[in-house]
Amino acid sequence: MTDVKTQIDEMVKGHDVVLFMKGTKMMPQCGFSSRVAGVLNFMGVDFTDVNVLADADIRQGIKDYSDWPTIPQLYVKGEFVGGCDIVTEMTLSGELDTLLEQNGVTFDKAAADKIREANA
């Protein structure tokens, strides 16, 4: 049996985009997780969701892994991006588009533009 850090490391590095969240991408169970999953879903990003409510070890382990105290946590190509506030800011500034493009992650640019237009 692998330890939690190894398990998390394999998830983060084994998928292009991973969101550790409360609930699932189709059924978020907190507002912050819902916001980040909603942005990724709306932008058509293919991401892996990890429900931290299903496993207390993963829930604490991801906080230790990233040295970040809150959930949700977004990873792109094995790198920690941030939580809800950071992802929201990056979406509105266009930085998330750039990050996804630089890492070869497919997304709907028009949808990303719509998010920015709606929040202008």
What's the CATH number where 8 sits?
A: 3.40.30.10
What pLDDT does residue 103 have? 97
Backbone phi, then psi, for 94, in 5-degree steps? 90, -5
Whole-number Å distance between alpha carbons of 116 and 119: 5
What pLDDT does residue 120 have? 86
Q: What is the pLDDT along the chain (120 residues), one digit of tens a residue?
A: 469 999 999 999 999 999 999 999 999 999 999 999 999 999 999 999 999 999 999 999 999 999 999 999 999 999 999 999 999 999 999 999 999 999 999 999 999 999 999 998
What pLDDT does residue 48 have? 98
Expressed as residue numbers, the domain containing 78 is 4-118
What pLDDT does residue 2 have? 65
E strand or H helix at 21, and its extent?
Answer: strand 17-21
Q: What's the domain count of the chain?
A: 1
What pLDDT does residue 60 have? 95
